[in-house]
Amino acid sequence: MNDVLKKLGIEPVNPGAFNGRWFGSDSKLESISPIDGKPIAAVMQATPAEYEQVLAAGVKAFETWRTTPAPKRGELVRQLGNALRELKAELGALVTMEMGKIRAEGEGEVQEMIDICDFACGLSRQLYGLSMHSERPGHRMYEQWHPLGVVGIISAFNFPVAVWAWNSALAAVCGDVSLWKPSSKTPLTAVAVTKIAERVCRDFGVDPAIFSLIIGKGSTIGEMLINDRRIPLVSATGSCRMGYRIGEVVGKRLGRTILELGGNNAIIVTPEADLDLAVRAIVFGSVGTAGQRCTSTRRIIVHESIKKTLTDRLIAAYKQVKIGNPLSEGTLMGPLIDTGAVNDMMNALKKLKEEGGQILCGGDVLSGDAYAGGCYVSPVIAFAENEYKIVQEETFAPILYVIGYKTLNDAIAKHNGVPQGLSGAIFTRNLLEAEQFLSAAGSDCGIANVNIGTSGAEIGGAFGGEKETGGGRESGSDSWKAYMRRQTNTINYTTQLPLAQGIKFGD
């Protein structure tokens, strides 16, 4: 651990604000590893006055960065990706130590950062507008895209670095600067990433304040950020409850939001499914990251004719899941983030039983030397009904509800019958079933898959969901447009002044 921290520039106590220089003088925030309950290092949080210093530097940096040619901005982001490549193992290990996901997933998250930097670099030469024919003679009309300003990024603990990269890499090539407020549960990864970005910016000869950082309390620093009219766009990842607050505050000042909120993701398994494939996808989707992905599989909607067969196979697979230290080779599931998450899981299981659900396996808080000080649980498979109140909620833990269905229309109705709408999937070898699931009358999620699970999205496609998931889109496709402002331009190259719609006004 000490070698990892040293390579990433993490000190026993670290300043939590960056605007081209490092500072922070509010209360000390200790980062506690969910692996063993021991402190890793600490961060000095920022005061409201220090927030002002950080934002002012970002606003100033934007004035220069917005006029930097987009391909040059892309080159900076390319070099950022290369710097992340060099430290992929170390940064991935820190993600594991601070968040608790297994080593392969920690390094996989850093790979997402690298991939989005590559994507954004190519995008820097493709920020296309459109030209269109004017109805007025001697006129040319087109549209173009301009940088937006300071983008506020609020990230969650479960993807402590990738979500920053999804936003900041695109924002940077679009000519924006970013102000990152990470989760207070994972502040060290944010410090490490910002130090990497700082070094790249200094080597490139640009103001490192284009990647600013502010670590502080949500009740003060977070509220200042979302209320700040100098921040035209806030991209926030977190709970639905948090999203309602941010959407209301930012919307009231007519700012923009990209909201990536809760998921309650389901997989439909039909009699036409390849069960070998389905079981593998379900186990990864439900157990991976200890069920703490927004795309984690939470509900299995399976045809009654194969419900017992699939359930028995899932229980057998769950018994083979190695739970323990996520830094150890062979571990498939690490700890939950903290004791609060463990309590939330136990409360959810209590409510499930009260509503008539049946726990088939798992649900224990694990103890013993191998789990000492950590937040380890055994993953749960349970029979439930879709209308249970607890099933309608998202519990950020490895709980998998198995729900039966009789017709595909019934299955799709259950799939869509929750407030969230992030990711969903169907396992079938029947083309008609697959196409119905992907049709306008099928899945109502932002991500809909056939014969792959609900988690593990690629950066090339726009990521996000509908309904209480917030409607935001990050990462690939044309999501870059959210980070820019559109401008329609008309040029008159005549000595006449014809009006649109044939309007006559005087001689």
Q: Which residues are catalytic?
A: 260, 294
Question: What is the rounded (10 degree) CA torsion for 291, 467, 482, 220?
Answer: -70
Backbone angles phi, psi at 148, to 5 degrees: -95, -40
Q: Where do we find the tokens 């007519």?
A: 254
Pairwise CA distance, residues 462 & 485, whole Å: 19
What is the spatial distance between Cα 293 and Cα 379, in angstroms, rounded to a whole number? 14
**Element housing 475 (H / E):** strand 474-475
Distance CA 8, CA 383 (A): 45
Q: What does the alpha-carbon distance between residue 159 and residue 462 come to, in Å, rounded to a whole number?
A: 17
Answer yes or no: are the C-beta atoms of 14 and 44 closer than 8 Å: yes
Q: Are 351 and 389 in contact (CB under 8 A)?
A: yes
3-state secondary structure of 302: strand
Q: What 8-state DSSP symbol labels residue 220? A: I
**CB neighbours of residue 110 within 10 Å:** 25
DSSP strand pairing (420-421 vs 466-467): antiparallel
Q: Which residues contact 409 (CB under 8 A, 6 or more apart)?
A: none
What phi, psi does 196 have (nearest 5°)?
Answer: -65, -45
Distance, CA of 485 to chain centre: 23
Alpha helices in 270-306, H assignment, sequence order: 275-287
How is residue 230 written in tokens?
Answer: 């100098």
Sheet holding 13-15, edge to edge: 13-15, 39-44, 28-32
Strands 233-237 and 211-214: unpaired
Separation of alpha carbons 501 and 298, rounded Å: 54
39-44/13-15 β-pairing: parallel
Supply angle C-alpha 240, 34, 244, rounded to 5: 10
Question: Tokens 């649900």 belong to which residue?
Answer: 363
Q: Residues near 424 by Cβ (< 8 Å), separated by ≥ 6?
A: 265, 266, 267, 268, 415, 443, 445, 447, 448, 449, 454
Tokens standing for residue 436: 């119905």
Helix (H, G, I), strand (E, B) or coil at 120: helix
Coil, strand or helix at 442 = coil
